[in-house]
Amino acid sequence: MSDPTVGIIGGTGPQGRGLAMRFAMTGLPVIVGSRQDGKARDIAEGLNGALEKHGRPFHAIEGLENRAMAGKADYVFLTVPFENAERTVEGLSGAFRQGAVFVDVTVPLRFGKGDVQLEVPPEGSASRQLRKILHPSIPLCGAGKTLPAHVLEEISIPLDCDTFVFGDDKAAKGGLMELMARIPGLRPLDVGGLSAALTVEGMTALLIRLNRRYKSRLGRFGVVGLGA
Ligand SMILES: NC(=O)c1ccc[n+]([C@@H]2O[C@H](COP(=O)([O-])OP(=O)(O)OC[C@H]3O[C@@H](n4cnc5c(N)ncnc54)[C@H](OP(=O)(O)O)[C@@H]3O)[C@@H](O)[C@H]2O)c1
């Protein structure tokens, strides 16, 4: 079977860019999505430049408008601000290819003066809210919600951290676990079904608060490490 293609909705932001580069470094085809085709292409070009400078082998990243990207990707990561997630997913109705797995990376956070709060949506979590909108035939999983963008984007530093993976569709989650495990230094941990989403999203808020208070950056503590 050929390598799966990774697509990233809103892949032009820090979280999407970081994921795109980490996957590209594994040799997988990656498409950065944007609301604007030209912006997607420009960002992809910039990421390819950064990867080239890094000097290790990689698969060149492509840039496409979100809808065109969704039609080509096997795993579609969502990395837009949560407040725009619902409308974005609604706008992509019918765009996903058959067998695609949707991966929610969003966290519903509100940043205040020196603090961050989790804003729990009425459905119980960001992922649950998106599950209601996404066509039932498309499996929804979550991953990468606790991974800080600045860590992902710093490609000269190998990762040494864990990521929580959840989802109700066991086959989709298994495939996603394998996909995440391709990234060197990233250990996917299966934390269960969609009901785990709220806990994971809450952990992100907690970790940001701890990182700010204790000025941690790349330590396992800050990146959610459970130890080898
Ligand atoms: N940053 C982190 O460290 C981090 C860590 C864990 C999880 N996350 C989650 O990952 C997601 C992305 O984070 P980020 O920091 O990369 O976000 P961001 O830079 O604010 O946004 C990412 C991209 O979303 C698109 N976007 C912005 N407004 C939009 C709108 N109104 N409608 C549709 N698309 C819109 C933009 O792409 P185009 O203009 O190209 O369409 C933008 O480049 C968030 O949900 C965040 O909670 C972030």
User: What CATH number is given to the structural domain containing 181?
Assistant: 3.40.50.720
Instruction: Say how many Å lie between the CA of residue 84 and the centre of ligand 1.
Output: 9
Range of the domain at 115: 6-214
Looking at residue 113, its pLDDT comes to 83
DSSP string, 122-186: TTSSHHHHHHHHS-TTS-EEE--TT--HHHHH-TTS---EEEEEEES-HHHHHHHHHHHHTSTTE
* Distance from chain centroid for Cα 172: 15
How far, in Å, from the CA of 16 to the mean position of ligand 1? 7
76 touches 7 (CB < 8 A)? yes
* Domains identified in the chain, total number: 1
Reply yes or no on whether the pLDDT at 225 is more than 60.
Answer: no
Q: What is the pLDDT of residues 142-152, one digit of tens each?
A: 999 999 999 99
Mean model confidence pLDDT for the chain: 93
Query: Which residue CA neighbors atom 22 of ligand 1 most closely?
Result: 13
Q: Are 61 and 20 in contact (CB under 8 A)?
A: yes
CA of 168 to the centre of ligand 1 (A): 25
Query: Is 139 a member of any domain?
Result: yes
Tokens found for residue 216: 């941690």
Map residue 6 onto helix, strand or coil: strand
pLDDT at 217: 55
Q: Which of 125, 136, 225, 216 is nearest to 185 (CA)?
A: 225
Q: What is the pLDDT of residue 154?
A: 95
Closest by CA to 60, choosing from 23, 16, 32, 29, is 29
Q: Among 82, 77, 189, 98, which Cα is nearest to 140's?
A: 77
Indicate whether 227 belongs to any domain.
Answer: no
Question: Does residue 141 form part of some domain?
Answer: yes
Interstrand relation of 161-167 and 109-112 (parallel, antiparallel or unpaired): unpaired
Q: Which two tokens stand for residue 193?
A: 């079904």
pLDDT tens sequence across 190-221: 999 999 999 999 999 998 888 777 766 544 43
219 located within any domain: no
What DSSP designation does 28 have?
-
* Rounded Cα gap, residues 62 and 33, in angstroms: 9
Residue 114 confidence (pLDDT): 79
Q: Would you call 77 exposed, middle or buried from its count of C-beta atoms within 10 A (0-12, 13-18, 19+)?
A: buried
- Asked whether residue 11 is assigned to any structural domain, the reply reads yes
Q: Which residues line ligand 1 (CB under 6 A)?
A: 10, 12-16, 34-35, 39, 79-82, 84, 88, 105-107, 109, 145, 147-149, 204
Among all chains, which residue has been given the structure tokens 């209601």?
132
Whole-structure pTM value: 0.96
CA of 11 to the centre of ligand 1 (A): 8
Q: Whole-angstrom Cα distance, residue 35 to residue 73? A: 16
**Does residue 154 lie in a domain region?**
yes
90 within a domain of the structure (yes/no): yes
Question: Does the residue 168 lie in any domain?
Answer: yes
